[in-house]
């Protein structure tokens, strides 16, 4: 393992122009809608002015801060490009590069990829007098004002459902529509602003037709997922982007920090995806045939990568994970000349592609016996008042006062008040101000809850319990940010689901109480409710994708211990119990045979926060940013567990 093969792929490109010519739908070609192709030519009068302005700008003296910012941005861009090319080569490598057209140098080269794997839908945001003027205005703005050398979208749908050819180059052409996600995606923009209104019926029908056309052309299965990348600050992520999985048909906001394609169109995109799943089921990616790829391999050391693969494949799963940690430690100490080597990411890619733990779930004979068939959880809310509560459900308001051991509703004394929300709706506790600390504008108030509310008095205190489906509970959990790495979100959600199920079916966190859980993170999990669900679309999708996925040991659901931060190592269960006398869990050590001390590279140099046993939050972040899947992360921290669907 001391020497590893390092190989570079050199791509040389030939040009064979391909233009969309479908008999299935009418696509209005660029020549038909009047595209001024000189907007794309670097030697045109339009670009002479742009290039001169760039030259003048580049000669302007920079302040020290401006130079530092420019260098920082350049470093970040290079880092992200290296990561994308080396970790996701199939999605980001080019197979064609076209620099000239009809004797004119292009302002922006036409780039083509081997595959198109996903569709990204936008709205233009701006409104126009009519479709034809709109497509021309967008083209000019993108090509000249933004200096992209062409329109950014591959297709544009007009107000009356017209489908316009967008970016020049034809099939497999890379657009300019979603930064870090342009390659291997195709873009559609619907003319207009759809933040508050849905697209028209004619636009909807055309979008549906175009989705069918593109999924068939490129072999895109809408039930599958794709790796997307959202830029982040280097102080929060070491490679400049967070990578996560989402469906192969998404809105722009799902791949970037933007409101595009508007709230209403975003909803319609998901409807279209679901309605076309059966049509695209089984579609396989179709390669770009009009390309010529020349691969050249350079060896570094005596052992080839094939031998390394064979060696790794022979190892048990846990040893493979430990091996990855050791390889990363070795690579952290290696140095290479800048710009020549991408050994760090390449090695990770090779290893991960060989032993991702997908489908390594328990067999059908394994089961979780104490499964709660109702699938509902009862969560005590930390409602701050003890004498009254006002609840709004739709247009009906409940004003309730506490009187001794009773609740007074409409002049009638009750032991218990049961408030049921409408199907798919929520209850709002109007008397509870719960604005997030970070919300300086006070736009949000986390006082809304799915499911039902149960109110009662016990020991002189007003108890407010939210009874709801487990999936809705998870969508209201504030344990992980919506913009975190997808693997981190998956790890936290599966752990949180398992933790909740443990106390729903196996044990009681709050003996002799009606509720099974609490919204207090100091004693259970941080639950904020429906308001958080509304601003966490990525987390919601991951919860739906991993429905009923839990952690088990010998086929039985476990209590998955996790905590905030280690100081470089997690603590074994036995060590924890040595100085935690009186902890109930220490009286049943046989319940936790999977809790051992392991190294946590993410915690090195940090202070331990929490009990220190099981899954470390810093470790999850560290490994997720290095390409580990949630299966790998969970199995690293919890020895001998399996991920199963119940």
482-508 residue pLDDT tens: 989 999 999 999 999 999 999 998 888
The H or E element spanning position 99 is strand 94-101
The pLDDT of residue 580: 67
The pLDDT of residue 54: 77
CA distance 348 to 627: 7
Q: Return the closest-CA partner of residue 380 out of 466, 451, 449, 448.
A: 466
The answer to whether the CB of 341 falls within 8 A of the CB of 296 is no
The separation between CA 285 and the C-alpha centre of its own chain, rounded to angstroms, equals: 22
Structural domain boundaries in the chain: 30-280, 305-355, 376-645
Tokens 């009906």 correspond to: 396
The pLDDT of residue 363: 30
Instruction: Identify which has the larger pLDDT, 113 or 303.
Output: 113
The separation between CA 371 and the C-alpha centre of its own chain, rounded to angstroms, equals: 29
CA distance 607 to 614: 16
Hey, what are 600's tokens?
Answer: 């946590």
Confidence band, pLDDT 50/70/90 cuts, at residue 299: very low
Determine the Cα angle at 148 with ends 145 and 154, to 5°. 115
| CATH level 2 (architecture), domain 30-280 | 3-Layer(aba) Sandwich (3.40)
CA distance 133 to 261: 21
State pLDDT tens for residues 498-550: 999 999 988 888 887 889 999 998 899 999 999 999 999 999 999 999 988 99
The pLDDT of residue 291: 56
Taking residues 411-432, what's their average pLDDT?
89
CA distance 278 to 332: 46
CA distance 483 to 563: 20
State pLDDT tens for residues 76-101: 888 888 788 777 888 887 888 888 99
């Amino acid at each position: 393992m001391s020497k590893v093969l390092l190989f570079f792929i050199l791509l040389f490109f030939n040009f064979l122009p391909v233009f969309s010519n479908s008999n299935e739908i009418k696509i209005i070609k660029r020549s038909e809608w009047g595209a001024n192709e000189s907007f794309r030519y670097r030697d045109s009068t339009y670009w002479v002015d742009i290039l001169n302005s760039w030259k003048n700008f580049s000669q302007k003296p920079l302040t020290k801060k401006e130079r530092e910012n420019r260098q920082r941005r350049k470093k970040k861009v290079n880092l992200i490009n290296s990561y994308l090319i080396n970790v996701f080569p199939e999605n980001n490598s080019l197979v064609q590069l076209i620099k000239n057209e009809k004797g004119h140098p292009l302002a922006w080269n036409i780039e083509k990829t081997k595959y198109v794997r996903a569709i990204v839908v936008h709205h233009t945001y701006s409104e126009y007098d009519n479709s034809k003027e709109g497509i021309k205005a967008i083209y000019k703005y993108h090509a000249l004002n933004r200096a992209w050398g062409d329109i950014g979208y591959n297709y544009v749908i007009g107000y009356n459902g017209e489908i316009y050819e967008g970016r020049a180059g034809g099939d497999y052409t890379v657009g300019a529509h979603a930064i870090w996600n342009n390659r291997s995606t195709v873009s559609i923009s619907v003319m207009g602003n759809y933040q508050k209104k849905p697209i028209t019926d004619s636009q909807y029908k055309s979008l549906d037709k175009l989705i069918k056309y593109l999924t068939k052309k490129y072999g895109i299965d809408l039930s599958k997922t794709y790796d997307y990348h959202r830029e982040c600050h280097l102080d929060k992520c070491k490679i400049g982007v967070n990578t996560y999985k989402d469906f192969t048909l998404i809105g722009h906001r799902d791949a970037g920090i933007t409101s595009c394609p508007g709230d209403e169109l975003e909803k319609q995109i998901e409807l279209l995806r679901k309605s076309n799943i059966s049509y695209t089921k089984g579609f396989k990616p179709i390669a770009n045939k009009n390309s010529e790829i020349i691969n050249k391999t350079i060896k570094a050391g005596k052992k080839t990568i094939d031998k390394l693969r064979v060696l790794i494949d022979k190892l048990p799963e846990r040893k493979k994970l430990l091996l990855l940690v050791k390889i990363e430690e070795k690579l952290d100490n290696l140095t290479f000349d800048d710009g020549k080597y991408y050994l760090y990411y390449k090695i990770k890619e090779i290893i991960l592609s060989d032993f991702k733990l997908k489908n390594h779930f328990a067999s059908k004979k394994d089961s979780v016996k104490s499964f709660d068939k109702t699938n509902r959880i009862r969560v005590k809310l930390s409602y701050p008042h003890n004498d009254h509560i006002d609840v709004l459900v739709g247009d009906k308001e409940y004003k309730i006062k506490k009187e001794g051991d009773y609740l007074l509703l409409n002049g009638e004394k009750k032991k218990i008040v049961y408030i049921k929300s409408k199907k798919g709706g929520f209850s709002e506790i109007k008397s509870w101000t719960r604005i997030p600390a970070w919300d300086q504008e006070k736009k949000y108030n986390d006082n809304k809850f799915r499911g039902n509310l149960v109110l009662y008095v016990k020991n002189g205190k007003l108890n407010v319990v939210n009874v709801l489906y487990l999936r809705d509970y998870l969508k209201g959990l504030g344990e992980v940010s919506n913009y975190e790495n997808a693997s981190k979100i998956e790890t936290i959600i599966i752990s949180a689901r398992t933790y909740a199920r443990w106390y729903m079916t196996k044990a009681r966190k709050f003996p002799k109480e009606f509720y099974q859980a609490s919204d207090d993170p100091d004693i259970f999990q941080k639950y904020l409710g429906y308001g958080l669900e509304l601003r966490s679309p990525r987390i919601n999708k991951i919860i739906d994708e991993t429905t009923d996925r839990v952690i088990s040991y010998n086929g039985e659901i476990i209590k998955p211990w996790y905590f905030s931060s280690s100081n470089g190592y997690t603590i074994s269960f036995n060590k924890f119990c040595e100085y935690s006398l009186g902890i109930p869990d220490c009286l049943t050590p046989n319940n936790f045979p999977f809790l051992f001390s392991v190294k946590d590279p993410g915690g090195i140099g940090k202070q331990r926060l929490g009990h220190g046993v099981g899954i470390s939050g810093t470790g999850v972040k560290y490994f997720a940013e290095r390409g580990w899947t949630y299966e790998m992360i969970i199995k690293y921290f919890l020895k001998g567990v399996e991920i199963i669907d119940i």
